[in-house]
A and B are shown apart, each in its own frame.
Chain A
Amino acid sequence: MRRIPDASPRGRAITVDLEGEAVPAVEGEPVACSLLVAGEDLLARSIKYHRPRGAFCFAAACSHCLMRVDGLPNVYTCRTPARAGMRLERQNAFPSAKIDLFGTIDWFFPRGLDHHEMFAGVPVAEQVMAKVARQLAGLGLLPPHEAPARLPARILRIRVAVVGGGAAGLAAAKVLSERGVPFLLLERDERVGGRLTRGAPLPDDPAVPEVASLPKGSVLTRTHAIGLYDDEGGRFLAAVAQEPEGLRFLQIHADRILLAPGGHPGLLPFENNDLPGVYAGRAASMLLREHDVAPKAAALVGWGPELHALARLLETHRTKVTAVVDLRGPLPGGAHSTACVGSEPKAHGLKRVGSFSFTRENGKRKKVDCDAVLVSIPPSPSFELARQGGATVNFDAERGLFAVQAEANGSTAAPDLFVAGDITGGGTAREAAAAGARAAEALIGGLS
């Protein structure tokens, strides 16, 4: 990964402390992004086999980038803004993540390690194993100090709560605002936009609605919804907001809840899919569009319109695209010159991706050089809150994902719960925006 040569700086140049070494960074960007650009793509060792790991999803949806940050264990460096002097340490390695002796576990157990039956009932060996396993288990150390005094929790009451400020959530907010319905929109990122500002653009993407046109105070950014509870106080969303003075817990009671949280970048199972240098497609587009960071040469694998849109986006920014392997096909019109239908993808490299291979339709393997493998598959709908709230979730075998069951107007099995966008199983940003607007209209209709 590198910063695009002629990009203008997006923030102040600072340094962060990586295990005692000063590493250049850009203030405010995800610190994992700064580390990648500095050539530090090995961020951790995996929990069991001590495999090398680097950032993958940039969405707090995996665990590849977890580091000890300023003494706190298991911090998502993909979501933590770089700050001058912040201390970063790699976890789960001895003596260091670069030369980790426990990495040999991966080689000793090429076919995997069955912790249920290994040494089960073998005298002495099982006791030794139990002791060793306990020391090897766990990630990170207990924080050395107490947490600071936290801001008091805040209980908010509002007509409509919208979770997610992507295409669907913003379109819904626009409708609610035009109709004068008080609402709160929770966006976990620093800025709203979702894939409209961070994804690989599709030709028919709608424009990003202006947040300035929405009522003041109706959009809470850097706010993570963490649960949809139903306690003695009624139903509410629980969320954690990053406020200027610190983190604050919120309980949001709303007459109607519209869930438009999008989806999680999923793992695509193939050999070495966890190697540093394998990234989610949406991570790559986000790094490029928000931070001017891109691979020198990338191999793309996956399926769906975003795969091919990502190839186009990368080429516009002079990343060499060495392969676009569509695992489903057929190829759409205007696909990249290297695009082909293929199968059995595999990433190669010891500590980072160096090349990528796959099987072509004619049955022959093909190998290409690259410094990144980008996995672009439709996101896995973030159905968790909807399911907690009583909506029905079904498995769509065709698309290989779980999606929330909803009517065309976004209504679900739970009367106060509406959904729109990727949570219902995918579609383009334009479709998501239309669904968000429809859901907003429908839920307003039900408000007395």
Chain B
Amino acid sequence: MSKALICSCEDVTVEDVRHALSRGYNDVESVKRYTGFGTGICQGKSCLAAVAALIAKEGPLKPPGIQPFTPRPPLYPTEMSLFATTPVDESRPPVGGVPEELGTFPPALRPAAPLPSKARVVIIGGGVMGLALAYNLSLRGETDVVVLERGYLCAGASGRNGGGVRMQWGTSANIELARRSIDLMKQFARDLGINVWLRQGGYLFLAKTASVAKRLERNAALHNKHGVPTRIITADAAREIVPGLTMKGVLTACFNPEDGVIFPWPFLWGYAQHCLKKGIKVETFTNVTGFESSGGLVRKVKTDRGDIACDTVVLAAGAWSPEIAKLADVKLPNEPHRHEILSTEPLKPFLGPLVSVLDSGLYFSQSMRGEIVGGMGDPKEPAGLNMGSTLRFVARFSQALMEQLPQVGHVKVLRQWAGCYDVTPDNNPVLGRTPGLENLLQMSGFVGHGFMMAPAVAERMAAWMATGEHDELFHRFNLRRFTSGRIERGEDMIIG
């Protein structure tokens, strides 16, 4: 059958690119994500120029708005066994990384149409939190909403995470939120008309130290109390779930078959497309530059495209939240921490669950496309907004993964990238009203698991905003807890 291919690794046609443009995905990064071009084994070598030429010819953007998507190492597919040979100095903190990705959006990418001069609700952050909230507000009839996003949709952590969704948490609040989120994810395609590829292959946690083993056992009991079917399993049972898994040094394993993985990007597209249909404005490539406040209320949100007068502001900017809060003289205790991640060549299905060694922060799963997607926390990672990629990470990850699953030594890494966790002192989120600025609502601090919590958190936040009815979520996790000293036991099932 005649087709004109523009990316032959992923079978993307010229028509597919035109379709993305017709949906309003005009910049190269968005077209890449929506069509999948450039995500295959060649990583854009043979297709990027042709796609860019088509975008420049048929789309609204012209150079310098035509930018290449970020070229991520490695330039050629490279086996993990080779990465694993590079020495790592664990005594030094990781710094640097390539390429520099912050503040690289040229003004030419900004939308041409003017910003609305006022709106009832301005949501800062077009990640999954902000967009899910806008969607839920629209379900309650509130459509006078503007969502501000500094980059393209998926530019932040919502587009950079590994897609894991799980009910295995250490606090009742998180277990309940995650359960509700996974239910909403199951019906996402029905509600919003786009596939999110939820695959419930389970989460298999491994513990190698006594304290972590104890934590898994205690939390498994808590899960069961909430009706989550987590079970502590033997090494043999774990190997049955993941053939080839080495269980050396593993003290305890626990497994919940109802956890799983999703494909993160379509959530953002689904929410955003729905919002646009309802008249909600989703303004990409727009930076918040300040606030105008008086009488204990934010009156205007200032941006590099003009000011928006508003009744309510929601800060849902993830790792960028402290930086933006500072513009309103609000100090958030959140700290951004880089987390690196990689993806391998696509392979036929061989791995059911997401596997995580909770002690080291190693995690890996197989995506619907067949890639091994995984990461590993670095205990020495300093605080700071940094999304650069390091060789140190690929080396550490490859060493740790080969120890757990030796057959992957020959598997080739296709690309590595990084995103930022939005870390709070007690690993719990920051939600609710801001002391001193009553109409500035906080929706941040999800410590790397915001993506999977967003559908449920946004649903409750929209209800709370629309009805004003009491919801303990927005009081328990209020910013006040850090000054009043009423901090509860923190979440202890954070990976990394």
Contacts and interface: CB of A to CB of B under 8 A. Distances in A.
Partners in one complex: yes
Interface of A: 46-49, 51, 53, 56-57, 60-64, 66, 72-74, 106-107, 110-112, 114-121, 123, 126, 129-130, 133-135, 137-148, 150-153, 155, 224-233, 238, 240, 247-249, 251, 264-274, 346, 380, 382-385, 387-390, 393-397, 400-402
B182 interface: no
A61 B63 contact: no
A67 B461 CA distance: 51
Contact of A226 (B74, B97, B199): B74
- Considering residues A115, A228, A395, which has the most beta carbons from chain B within 10 angstroms of its beta carbon? A395
- Considering residues B6, B85, B195, which has the most beta carbons from chain A within 10 angstroms of its beta carbon? B195
A232 B49 contact: no
Contacts, number: 293
A251 B391 contact: yes
Contacts of A393: 67-68
Given A112-B3, A249-B85, A387-B99, A224 B194 contact: no
B81 interface: yes
Interface in B55-87: 56, 62-64, 66-68, 70-71, 73-87
Given A51-B3, A116-B266, A397-B63, A229 B98 contact: yes
Contact of B8 (A63, A110, A145, A228): A63
Interface string B339-382: 00000011111100000000000000000111000000000000
- Considering residues B4, B96, B392, which has the most beta carbons from chain A within 10 angstroms of its beta carbon? B4
B193 A120 contact: yes
Interface of B: 1-11, 13-16, 19, 34, 40-42, 45-50, 52-54, 56, 62-64, 66-68, 70-71, 73-87, 89, 92-100, 189-191, 193-195, 197-199, 266, 269, 345-350, 368-370, 388-392, 402, 406-412
Contact of A380 (B48, B100, B348): B48
Grouping DSSP codes into helix (H, G, I), strand (E, B) and loop, the A interface class, with mixed when no group exceeds half, is loop
B191 to A, nearest CB: 7
A57 B45 CA distance: 11
Given A120-B195, A126-B189, A400-B53, A74 B11 contact: no
B65 to A, nearest CB: 9
B167 to A, nearest CB: 20
Contacts of B94: 231-232
Contacts of A137: 346, 348-349, 368-370
Contacts of B9: 47, 62-63
- Considering residues B71, B191, B198, B346, which has the most beta carbons from chain A within 10 angstroms of its beta carbon? B71
A123 B194 CA distance: 13
20 contacts: A46-B8, A48-B10, A48-B11, A57-B46, A111-B15, A118-B195, A130-B198, A130-B199, A143-B411, A145-B410, A153-B87, A232-B96, A238-B391, A267-B7, A267-B8, A270-B4, A380-B49, A384-B71, A402-B48, A402-B49
Contact of B346 (A139, A151, A265): A139
The 9 A-B residue pairs with the shortest CB-CB distance, nearest first, are A138-B370, A147-B409, A227-B73, A147-B81, A384-B71, A121-B190, A48-B11, A226-B74, A400-B53
